[in-house]
Structure 1
Amino acid sequence: MKTLKRKKPRKHPNKIEDRTDDYNIDQFEDLTYLDLIEIENAATGIIYYGYMDDMNNLIYRECSKCEQLKHISCFRPHSEGAHGYRSNCRECNREIDKLGNLRYQMKKKNLPHTLTELDFAKMQLEQKGKCYLNDSTEIHLEHFIPISWGHGGTTYKNCYYMDAALNTSKSNRNPFEWILTQPEHIQKRFYNVLVPTLAARNNMTTNAFEDYVNRCYLDFISKTA
């Protein structure tokens, strides 16, 4: 197979990522007993690495999105994919499916959907992979102004990562009413960290941002009454 240069050359993978949520770590095999192969992405021409056993079964391969080397059980079967599997791992596909669903909802509500992969990475870095309100790492993408209101949209100005349980609790409620039902330490972070962060993204003072959110809420209520 011809060798093509990556868009972003990286060191050769030499360690399987420990992802116990995707597969059992005990299933790992010593890579020295497997054959290294190159898998070319037909769309981009980028070469990814994989490992096959002596029966030509693909055992490990790199995900073309997160670029992590994972067990083949982490990839969905696909008749037209290289060696019969999709190039993106299941975890990355879940994120892609979520984004596709968000785009559909935004289009249906005639709301902007401007978040880019760079924005997602930027939010992760800003929050250090944790929720602003309780430091949880079990986080979901959250819209401060809910989509159901018909305002806001999936934008950097309106989105952040939030603890999964808090996200479910907040739902489509007015965040400034919802926060009053939460413990004091959550309320402090809401007013001292989250609100100033989103207000700054919108080039507003915290008071002006709260007024804006409340106006959006009143508009939503008037249309659903």
Structure 2
Amino acid sequence: MTDSKNFTVDHFIPVSWGHGGLTIRNVYPLNASLNSCKRHKNPFVWFEENRDKIDEERWNELIFYIAVQNDLMVEELREFTFWCEANKRSIKQVKADQRDSKERFGWKRHNSYDSYNTFP
């Protein structure tokens, strides 16, 4: 989301929340210094706090990409992310209930790819 070439792998939904996990649907390359300041923050809140450091067009592309990877619309991804933050799980809870977090969120599969939002 910047012009830097120093990247690390970031988890869009922080692993510490007990959702999202280590799957390709939850990871993306992020500038190392931005990743260190994001840490376990809500990515939408973090973006608002760091607008001056992040290219908004690239942010919107990322949000669209993560939404599509998770079979969600852009606004659903936002709602899902805030739900994950409000419903954090311990390792013990994750092991006890291994349903996909989207299933726990109450998500239903969309009938058509045409229903996906464009960039916000």
Shorter-chain TM-score above 0.5: yes
Q: Which has the higher contact order (CA 8 A, sep 6+)?
A: 2
1:153 matched residue in structure 2:
21
Task: Indicate conservation of the 8 Å contact 1:180/1:187, yes or no.
Answer: no
Shift, 1:185, TM fit: 6.3
Alignment partners' CA distance in 1, 2:75 and 2:58: 14
Shift, 1:135, TM fit: 2.6
Among 79, 83, 90, which residue is 1:211 paired with?
Answer: 79
Task: Indicate conservation of the 8 Å contact 1:179/1:187, yes or no.
Answer: no
Alignment partners' CA distance in 2, 1:205 and 1:148: 24
CA shift in 2, pair 1:190/1:211, >3 Å: farther
Task: Indicate conservation of the 8 Å contact 1:179/1:190, yes or no.
Answer: no
Task: Indicate conservation of the 8 Å contact 1:149/1:220, yes or no.
Answer: yes
Residue identity opposite 2:79 in structure 1: D
Residue identity opposite 2:13 in structure 1: I
Alignment partners' CA distance in 1, 2:48 and 2:40: 15
Q: May I ask how many residue pairs the two structures share in their alignment?
A: 89
CA shift in 2, pair 1:197/1:176, >3 Å: same
CA shift in 2, pair 1:172/1:219, >3 Å: same
Residue identity opposite 1:164 in structure 2: A
Shift, 1:220, TM fit: 1.9
Task: Indicate conservation of the 8 Å contact 2:63/2:74, yes or no.
Answer: yes
Percent identity over paired residues: 33
1:202 matched residue in structure 2:
70
Shift, 1:183, TM fit: 2.9
Among 144, 167, 189, which residue is 2:35 paired with?
Answer: 167
SS of the equivalent of 2:24 reads: coil
Q: 1:77-108: CA deviations, max 9, x gaps?
A: xxxxxxxxxxxxxxxxxxxxxxxxxxxxxxxx
SS of the equivalent of 1:216 reads: helix
Residue identity opposite 2:57 in structure 1: R
2:61 matched residue in structure 1:
193
Task: Indicate conservation of the 8 Å contact 1:157/1:198, yes or no.
Answer: yes
Q: 1:117-175: CA deviations, max 9, x gaps?
A: xxxxxxxxxxxxxxxx1031100011001111011111110001100000000000111
CA shift in 2, pair 1:150/1:217, >3 Å: same
* More helix as a share of residues: 2
* More strand as a share of residues: 1
Residue identity opposite 2:40 in structure 1: N
Q: Once superposed, what is the RMSD of the aligned Cα atoms?
A: 1.7
SS of the equivalent of 1:153 reads: coil
TM-score if structure 2 supplies the norm length? 0.68
Alignment partners' CA distance in 1, 2:45 and 2:58: 12
Q: 1:179-201: CA deviations, max 9, x gaps?
A: 11113461613542110110011
1:143 matched residue in structure 2:
11
